Amino acid sequence: MNKLESPYQYIAIEGNIGAGKTSLATKIAQEFNATLILEQFEDNSFLPKFYKDQDRYAFPLELSFLAERYQQLKDCLSVSDLFKSFIVTDYFINKSLIFSRKTLQKDEFNLYNKLFNIINQTLVKPDLLVYLYADVNRLQANIKKRGRDYEQNIKDQYLEQIQESYFDFIKQQSQMTILIIDTNDLDFVNNAKDYNYIASLIFQQYEPGIHRIKAKNEVQ
């Protein structure tokens, strides 16, 4: 596997809650000597409150996430490390817009969208966006397995809404290079063969557009 080289300077791993974004980004960074940028969400005091009362805490939660993500990416992407081969993150800044579209009231979202557009113009975009697709049953199993208390009551409907929001966003991206990988039958955390397979897909050279991997060795 270490014979692979990334044709990209900046790769963002995305997916729904429980899709395995952090696990995959971490494994890739470790094996290929990449700069790793992980979302710092565990210190966000609004997150546990949001899962208990979404209507009340959605707006402050999304604002806090937007501020934290922007500051982290601005700081990390502006500094180049000559000893690292590329950058890999476990989120894309547009995640803020994707989630807020489903969690905020219309007037709140309109304001949030204006702020996001101002911020988004100043950040470097990833050369490759990888979306890890898993169905709701698989997501719920992963959520239960990692055992974060505040996530244990996440509803299927919420996960479905977030998935839908991601797909709506992806459909509108004609200029980006996006790779969608169906991971329902893959265990890239515990199975080296599955991880190697996903890594081999990520390090292919793709033209701008949406590329879907429906199953092993099936590329569109």
Place of tokens 């994707």: 98
Kindly report the number of other CB atoms within 10 A of residue 58's CB atom.
21
Contacts 24+ apart (CB under 8 A), 67-71: 68/40, 68/41, 68/44, 69/39, 69/93, 69/95, 69/96, 70/119, 70/123
Active-site residue among 75, 81, 90, 185? Answer: 90
Tell me, yes or no, if 90 is annotated catalytic: yes
Quote the DSSP letter at residue 41: -
Contacts of residue 46, defined as CB under 8 A and 6 or more positions apart, other chains included, come to 57, 60, 61, 64
List the catalytic residues: 90
